[in-house]
Structure 1
Amino acid sequence: MNDSVKERGMKVNVGKTKAMLFERGESKCDILIEGEKVEQMKEFVYLGSLFTNDVKRDRDIEKRVNAGDKVNGALLAVMNSNGVSR
């Protein structure tokens, strides 16, 4: 990857670059760019979805259900308030 980027006159910012190895169980893969080690993540959020290195979706689903419950609770409070006419 680094060679391909260099050919185009660009540079990889290792401080902003992260890596994740999608695999069940504990695993480690050292990636070096220009002699600097790229940080390996266990989880990250991309476009609102939680990705974890164990490839399970349980926590992402739970996060989305909880967010929906919060919104539903807020809407119920508004609908049940005396300030809103039916």
Structure 2
Amino acid sequence: MWRFALERRGMKVSRSKTEYMCVNEREGSGTVRLQGEEVKKVQEFKYLGSTVQSNEECGKEVKKRVQAGQW
């Protein structure tokens, strides 16, 4: 349904690039499909240059920022 809303506004959803992530996932969560194809589920992704993790931890992001500050 959201795909149609986006397309009405001139946007296009790329099936090959689309991924999803669940935060604090509960057992029994289903799959996400786009035009009949299952969308890849990930445990982390980059958003505006920062790593977002499904377990709500920030260890990878903190480590990356600390390393960036080292000479």
TM-score over 0.5 (shorter chain) = yes
Rg: which structure is higher?
1
Partner Cα separation in structure 2 for residue 16 and residue 44 of structure 1: 12
Per-residue deviation, residues 33-62 of structure 1 (Å, max 9, x unmatched): 110111111111222211111011122111
Q: TM-score, normalised by structure 2?
A: 0.76
Partner Cα separation in structure 2 for residue 32 and residue 53 of structure 1: 19
Higher fraction of helix: 1
CA 1:47–1:11 in 2, change beyond 3 Å: closer, same or farther? closer
- Identical amino acids, percent of aligned pairs: 33
Q: TM-score, normalised by structure 1?
A: 0.65
Partner Cα separation in structure 2 for residue 38 and residue 25 of structure 1: 18
Asked whether the 8 Å contact 1:21–1:28 carries over to 2, the reply is: no
CA 1:52–1:29 in 2, change beyond 3 Å: closer, same or farther? farther
Equivalences, count: 69
Q: Which runs of 5+ in 2 are unaligned?
A: none
